[in-house]
Amino acid sequence: MIEYVVLGIVALLLFCYLLYALVHPERF
């Protein structure tokens, strides 16, 4: 069951990173 929690956290971090990259494209 814990692997789903870890996977969810990783997916959330990746989503936040992609959202940040979309909002601030000049940094990438």
pLDDT tens-digit readout, 1-28: 899 999 999 999 999 999 999 998 776 6
Sign of the four-CA dihedral 5, 7, 13, 16: negative
CA geometry: angle 19, 17, 6, nearest 5 deg: 120
Neighbours of 25 (CB within 10 A): 8
Domain ranges of the chain: 1-28
The answer to whether 9 touches 16, Cβ cutoff 8 Å, is no
pLDDT for 24 equals 87
pLDDT for 28 equals 63
